[in-house]
Amino acid sequence: MLKSLTIPLFLVLLGLGVSLEASRAPRLYVGRATVDITPKLPVAVTGQFHLRIAEEAQSPLFANIIVIETRNGSKTSDLAIMVSCDVLYVPNDLIPLVRNEVGKHIKDLDTQKIILNATHTHTAPVLKEGEYAIPTTGVTQVSEFREFFIKKVTQGIVNAWKDRDEAEVAWGLSYAVVGHNRRVVYADGTAGMSTNTNLPEFRNIEGPEDHDVNMLFFWNKKSELIAMVIGVASPSQEIGGMTVVHADYWDSVRRMIYEKYGKQVCVVSWLGASGDLMPPLRYRKAADDRMRELRGLNRLDELARRLVIAVDEAYETVKNDRHSELPLVHKMEQLRIPERLVTARDYAEAKVSVENARKEIEANPQSANRLYRKMQWETETLRRYERQQRVRRPMYEMELHVIRLGDIAICTNEFELFADYGIRIQARSPALQTFIIQLAGSEGWGAYLPTEKAVKGGAYSAVIHSSLVGPEGGQELVDRTVEILEELWRE
Amino acid sequence: MVDILYNAVMKPLAFRNFCLGAVLCLLASFAAADELRVGATTVDITPQLPVSLDGQMALRVASKIETPLEANVLVLESLSPQNTSVWVTCDIVTIPTELLDLIRKAVRARLPRFNTRNIMVNASHTHTGGVVRANWYPEPDSIVKVTDYQHFIAEKVAEGIENAWKTREKCTVSWGIGYAKVAYNRRARYEDGTARMYGKTDGDDFRKIEGYEDQSINTLFFWNPQGALKATCINVASPAQIVESRYTVNADYWHPLREILRKEHHPSLVILGWVGAAGDQTPRPMYEHSAEARMLRLRYGEPGQGNDFRTDVYLKEIARRIAECVNDTYRVVQKEKHENVTLAHQVLDLNLPMRPVKEEEVVEARKMQEEDLADPIRATQMKRRIAWQQEVIDRFEMQKTIPNPKYPVEIHVIRLGDIAIASNPFELFTEYGVQMKARSKSLQTFVVQLVGPGTYLPTRYAEEGGHYSAIVQSVRVGPEGGQLLVDKTVEQINRFWP
């Protein structure tokens, strides 16, 4: 009797086991790597209109890489390879070259799952050809640095890929005042970027600030913390005017994290929607500076101090809420959103400005150091106008990645996205937390995506040359991102 | 009707010695750096039960006291020339003019030669304190009478000022600034250009949070001659209204904050809670509710109430954020204690242009009032809302005889060492506070709102968006008056730093 029951019971249990296995969420695997991408000196650094040749590297530049993979048994369920780079932006033409190179080293990898984002440090080498009139000798050439970058990032991705192992993840939210809105509105309705507020005509700070610090923590199977993602809505741009190589505030953050959590921790920096934000203050600066001086800190270390407090707070709160079996879904699509149209007046003005610059450079070649970058910037507007005349509804095509990892979402864009758009996505997102990554690739220097209010106010970051896509496209980016998020959460 | 408005709004202020336009009060004179003497006390202003609660449209009667309500008092004096400055923070929703008059009168009775003009009283804006506005809500016989509670507060505060004055001693002072996420702008904007206070942000028509948030926490610390912390002033640009809808007496986040700081420093630490320009702010989140709620659950191990933040746990959380910021600032600035500082206190009487009532607005107000009056139950419950509409109707009538009516306000501008303190009586939208801070020549500028009877002072942009806090019913002074308030305040601050 007992024997006759045992076999069916075994079969039932076996069946139950199979169905349990099938219904279990996939297992998380994580690998990480850090590679040094500090250039050979001297090198031209990018981010300002004038040419700067850096003779000194005051901090290393890194690419920090994390591979997040889920597996059902031994089969990859989905994956994301996230590469955070200490550069101004990663030009879109460079990304396929990295993917191609990685593809040579990792068989059968869907290299479209590789996402490269920039911390937007203004003290890193030029990565796009033709931006500045860089001397052709005695200075690291753009092509050299691009090759070096591709090689090092590929090496990092391969190392992170090999490093994959069972892991756990936790997510958390905290706050730190790092990014300040840099657009100042005056009584006549005009705006200025990083302009004065101590004036009778000052009326308001144009937009919001987002002081969220979104975090991911990863542990290996020995329960050692191996990586963390820190999402901050502020570019790494405190010392953006210096003529040196420097990772800006991320250098200080990493040093403090290594000291506190160990050198084994890979710190991945995700830059939230912050086209209108940056660390320098627009008011109450003297009070803030006094506090920092009383602490004996420089400004970079002060920003890092705030971020590390936020990290500590979140870490202590979520460190026991870890997940090792969870869904990972990585969607990628080519999103087409309307371009911002160049008006005939924009075109005419740009034409005059470009012509004047050209004449001045011809008359005085040295002035190219000062004028060339701006001239190129405006020349792009001329080209855009001419192209837009030939197309009925010109569209900007961008790579959009939307990822679900457990309860959290990760959404990318290619812009210096004004904070309002990020808040729109976060507020409407069905995810518990939504990490926005701006400058995950970029078409060009200064690809701001301003709000309608900013466009009306004008000034750098909202003028036509600064933005390839305007408020209409911005809303379409928000709507489509939210649509995909909703699909992911329905699934 | 005009008389009603005049009696309700204008008369209490009008009897003071103000003239048209800004008039400088010369009672306080500018002083050179001098030894500072400080007295500090805390008095209990918890009302007896049952008591009606101030801050919502409908009558709420509390039958439970969850936390005590306090008035914290600081008296400052410099000797050559002799200057006094008195700062009082009360756990109530606002400071009606009649209450301030009662306080000054009670102080004069105890200290006949005391300069009561330099008494600055602010409200923490808790919506779970006793009613302090006479004729604001229905008053059932069973509850504490509003006028009795006003006299009770006035006597207690006067007692506190007298004690502080009599126990003043040579002290040192430090100032500092830190940051904590406490202010959340509560006005959501939508695709069609409209705004909504506490509006939903998860719909596809949501476009933005309307205005700026000021996360700075300005702090003053006063040490006694033995070097122990005696008092602190904490300036947070967010009102104390986390549990605003409860039917209990509660000092909101200031209570757990005071508990933390007194435990850490001294049980009798005097703590003044100054609300910065925060007419458009709330301490509760407007989006990311689930993420915030989860962090709370994990941090405090309590289940919470879903995405409702009107909880004891959230009170603790906001108190924790502020306390950590204050303690961090304390550790930094305690190495820079100032013994000799300039103390100057100017009181200005300004006549600000009132926000005009438009014809369509009065039509709407009449319509809504009639709807409330048509239902006998609503007519009783919504007495406050009916009066709210009535004020608009009265103002409209008044405009017929006084085409450009002015709203008199008392503002205090104080210099203490390197810092400035500037008061206003409004729920002042943050943007105006930012203007003051940006244009001020002082190292730090503490903006203190609700030093007076209140009413919102919105920005022009907010007015365009409409909704509660920016509509005519919520507002006596509009953007034009707001700009004048800023300009006059900045002018006076900068006179202190020639």
Q: Does A175 touch chain B if contact means CB atoms closer than 8 Å? A: yes
Q: Which of A487, A166, A216 is nearest to A325 (CA)?
A: A166
- pLDDT exceeds cutoff 90 at B200: yes
Q: What is the ipTM for the molecules in this complex?
A: 0.93
Taking only the tens place, the pLDDT of each residue in B142-199 is 999 999 999 999 999 999 999 999 999 999 999 999 999 999 999 999 999 999 999 9
Tell me the nearest-neighbour CA distance from B194 into chain A, angstroms: 15
Q: Which of B392, B310, B319 is nearest to B354 (CA)?
A: B392
Q: Which of B202, B218, B434 sits opposite A427 (nearest CB)?
A: B202
Structural domain boundaries of chain B? 32-346+415-495, 359-399
Q: What is the mean pLDDT of residues A83-102?
A: 98
- Interchain CB distance below 8 Å, A203 and B431: yes
- pLDDT exceeds cutoff 60 at A209: yes
Q: Does A322 touch chain B if contact means CB atoms closer than 8 Å? A: no
**If you average pLDDT over every residue of chain B, what do you get?**
93
Cβ–Cβ contacts within 10 Å for residue A453, how many? 19
Q: Does A476 touch chain B if contact means CB atoms closer than 8 Å? A: no
Cα torsion through A307, A309, A311, A313, rounded to 10: -150
Taking only the tens place, the pLDDT of each residue in A381-421 is 999 999 999 999 999 999 999 999 999 999 999 999 999 99
Give the pLDDT score at A2.
45
Contacts of B216 in chain A (CB under 8 A): 177, 284
**How many whole angstroms separate alpha carbon A335 and alpha carbon A397?**
6
Q: What is the mean pLDDT of residues B347-351?
A: 98
Q: Which of B22, B10, B27, B87 is nearest to B486 (CA)?
A: B22
Q: What is the mean pLDDT of residues B231-259?
A: 98
Q: Are B143 and B51 in contact (CB under 8 A)?
A: yes
Taking only the tens place, the pLDDT of each residue in B108-134 is 999 999 999 999 999 999 999 999 999
A11-15, A87-91, A275-279: least confidently modelled range? A11-15
DSSP labels, A71-130 = EETTEEEEEEEEEEESSS--BTTTHHHHHHHHHHHSTT--GGGEEEEE---SSEE--STT
Q: Does A162 touch chain B if contact means CB atoms closer than 8 Å? A: no
Instruction: Give percent above pLDDT 90 in chain A.
Output: 94
Q: What is the mean pLDDT of residues B283-288?
A: 97
Which token pair is A483? 């649509």
Taking only the tens place, the pLDDT of each residue in A429-440 is 999 999 999 999
- pLDDT bracket for residue B314 (50, 70, 90): very high
Taking only the tens place, the pLDDT of each residue in B423-481 is 999 999 999 999 999 999 999 999 999 999 989 999 999 999 999 999 999 999 999 99
Residue B197, helix vs strand vs coil = strand
Closest-CA residue of chain B to A183: B212
- pLDDT bracket for residue A15 (50, 70, 90): very low
- pLDDT exceeds cutoff 70 at A467: yes
Examine residue B403 and say whether the peptide bond preceding it is cis (omega within 30 degrees of 0): no
Give the pLDDT score at A445.
79
Cα torsion through B229, B230, B235, B236, rounded to 10: 70
Instruction: Give percent above pLDDT 70 in chain B.
Output: 93
Give the pLDDT score at B120.
98
- pLDDT exceeds cutoff 70 at A5: no
Which A positions 206-235 lie with beta carbon below 8 A of chain B?
A: 207-209, 211-212
DSSP labels, B99-155 = HHHHHHHHHHHHSTT--GGGEEEEE---TTSB--STTSS---TTS--HHHHHHHHHH
Q: Are B188 and B286 in contact (CB under 8 A)?
A: yes
**How many whole angstroms separate alpha carbon A212 and alpha carbon A232?**
7
Which token pair is B338? 């100032």
- pLDDT bracket for residue A8 (50, 70, 90): low
Chain B contact probe: residue of A292, A295, A420, A428 with most B CBs at under 10 A: A428
User: Residue type for B170, please?
Assistant: K
Q: Which of B209, B211, B213, B218 is nearest to B179 (CA)?
A: B218
Region at A297 (left for phi over 0; alpha for psi -120 to 50; beta for the rest) = beta
Q: Are B385 and B442 in contact (CB under 8 A)?
A: no
Q: What is the mean pLDDT of residues B308-320?
A: 96
Q: Are B81 and B35 in contact (CB under 8 A)?
A: no
Q: Which residues have CB under 8 Å from A162's CB, separation 6+?
A: A31
How far is it between the farthest Cα atoms of chain B?
Answer: 66
Distances (CA, A) of A6 to A12, A13, A15, A16: 10, 10, 14, 15
- pLDDT exceeds cutoff 60 at B8: no
Q: What is the mean pLDDT of residues A336-352?
A: 97
Cβ–Cβ contacts within 10 Å for residue B64, how many? 11
- Interchain CB distance below 8 Å, A294 and B209: no
Taking only the tens place, the pLDDT of each residue in A289-324 is 999 999 999 999 999 999 999 999 999 999 999 999
User: Residue type for B35, please?
Assistant: E
**How many whole angstroms separate alpha carbon A160 and alpha carbon A268?**
13
State the DSSP H helix or E strand holding residue B448, giving kind and residue range, or none if neither: strand B444-448
Cα torsion through B473, B474, B475, B476, rounded to 10: 70
Q: Which residues of B6-28 are buried (b: 16+ CB within 10 A; e: fewer)?
A: bebbbebbeeeebeeebeebeeb
Q: Which of B185, B298, B437 sits opposite A284 (nearest CB)?
A: B437
Cβ–Cβ contacts within 10 Å for residue A345, how many? 9
Q: What angle do CA A280, B320, B322 make, to 5 degrees?
A: 45
Give the pLDDT score at B80.
77
Q: Are B258 and B271 in contact (CB under 8 A)?
A: yes
Q: Could you tell me how many CB contacts below 8 A there are between chain A and chain B?
A: 118
- pLDDT exceeds cutoff 70 at B32: no
Contacts of A283 in chain B (CB under 8 A): 434, 437-438
- pLDDT bracket for residue B81 (50, 70, 90): confident
Contacts of A273 in chain B (CB under 8 A): none
Gyration radius from chain A CA atoms:
24
Q: Are B254 and B283 in contact (CB under 8 A)?
A: no
Taking only the tens place, the pLDDT of each residue in A115-131 is 999 999 999 999 999 99
β-strand B281-282 against A433-437: which pairing, if any?
Answer: unpaired
Give the pLDDT score at B19.
38
- pLDDT bracket for residue A24 (50, 70, 90): confident
Which A positions 274-293 lie with beta carbon below 8 A of chain B?
A: 282-284, 286-288, 290-291
Count helices and strands (H / E) in chain A.
11, 22
Angle between the N-to-C axes of helices A299-318 and B289-300, in degrees from 0 to 180, rounded to the nearest 10: 70
Q: Are A234 and A279 in contact (CB under 8 A)?
A: yes
- pLDDT exceeds cutoff 50 at B17: no
Region at B193 (left for phi over 0; alpha for psi -120 to 50; beta for the rest) = left
- pLDDT exceeds cutoff 60 at B15: no
- pLDDT exceeds cutoff 50 at B10: no
Residue B62's beta-bridge partner residues? B51
